[in-house]
Amino acid sequence: MSRTKLKVGYKYRVEVCFFPDQYELYAQDMGIVVVIDVLRATSAMVNAFHHGVDRIIPVSTVEEAREYIGKPGYIAAAERNGEVVEGFQHGNSPLAFEGSDVKGKTIVMTTTNGTRAISLAKDAKQLVVGAFLNLTALSDWLVQQNENVLLLCAGWRGKFNLEDSTFAGAVMDRMLESGKFGLEEDSSIAARYLYLAARDNFMSILKAAPRRRRIEQLKLLPDAKFCLTSDTTDVIPMLQNGALVRMRTPTLA
């Protein structure tokens, strides 16, 4: 075993899974799972904690979220197919979780892709949430951990998406730089290449014409611009007893 480790030159693995459906294929031996849904669930979660939200309870169904509408101390949020579900004031727009009215609240949230990925990976030893908004804080923290790390992309309506995979490649690139982590999977190699191709003209790739049309159709352009901004915060949300809370990171404090 130690000989193999010497030969490959790293202690821990960091891998990318492009789809929640494939989670089980990649989950073996993984200690930390990072759930990624850049447009927009995990960006919204990171931003909400940055603005003082106390807890986020991810739920699978709209019905579960609906029970919290109007309940004191709670914000009920539900998104399906890019839109706020009827009857809700919040969907998954990160810009809606700012301002004084979110501070100290508990958000109960259901989204098309993001909360489903969290639900699938909820039994991981540790589950954290990533987005461009917390890229550096998250990567720095991950590098300090002595665990294999799986970067789990939420995808877009069951399809591969560029923002989640490129973000995963960005985290991957920083972790490989450390020399402590290595990769085995083709998806991980591909994500890193995507990031390296995108790095210098990041926005232009992620705003390529076909994507831009789709984002404009969904009126997501202000959200997309915000979600593709790096390092607005040091907040790392983590799952604890079924709810996301803000990680206390002494080394980053």
| CA dist 189 → 85, 142, 192 (Å) | 37, 18, 5
Q: Does 220 bind its own copies (CB under 8 A)?
A: no
C-alpha triplet 164, 200, 217: angle, nearest 5°: 50
Measured from the CB atom, the residue of 196 and 221 that comes closer to its own copies is 196
Q: Does 226 bind its own copies (CB under 8 A)?
A: no
Q: Does 185 bind its own copies (CB under 8 A)?
A: yes
CA distance 191 to 165: 6
Measured from the CB atom, the residue of 209 and 253 that comes closer to its own copies is 209
CA distance 58 to 65: 9
Q: Which stretch binds its own copies (CB under 8 A): 107-115, 118-126, 144-152, 203-211?
A: 203-211
To the nearest 10°, report the CA torsion of 29, 34, 36, 41: 130
Measured from the CB atom, the residue of 197 and 221 that comes closer to its own copies is 197
Binder to its own copies among 5, 11, 21, 63 (CB under 8 A)?
21
- Residue numbers 157-176 binding its own copies by CB under 8 A: 157-162, 165
- Distance of closest approach, residue 196 Cβ to its own copies, in angstroms: 7
Cβ count near 250 (within 10 Å): 5
Q: Does 203 bind its own copies (CB under 8 A)?
A: no
Q: Which stretch binds its own copies (CB under 8 A): 65-73, 117-125, 191-199, 240-248?
A: 191-199
Measured from the CB atom, the residue of 19 and 141 that comes closer to its own copies is 19
- Distance of closest approach, residue 64 Cβ to its own copies, in angstroms: 27
Is the separation of the CB atoms in 11 and 99 below 8 Å? Answer: no
Site size toward its own copies, by CB under 8 A: 32
For 232, phi then psi, to 5°, come to -85, -15
Q: Which stretch binds its own copies (CB under 8 A): 89-97, 111-119, 202-210, 226-234?
A: 202-210
CA distance 55 to 52: 9
Q: Does 186 bind its own copies (CB under 8 A)?
A: yes
Q: Does 36 bind its own copies (CB under 8 A)?
A: no
Is the separation of the CB atoms in 41 and 136 below 8 Å? Answer: no
CA distance 97 to 90: 8
- Distance of closest approach, residue 228 Cβ to its own copies, in angstroms: 14
Q: Does 218 bind its own copies (CB under 8 A)?
A: no
Q: Which pair of tokens denotes residue 68?
A: 């919290």
CA distance 18 to 26: 10
Residues that bind its own copies (CB under 8 A): 8, 18, 21-22, 25-26, 156-162, 165, 182-187, 189-190, 193-194, 196-198, 205, 208-211
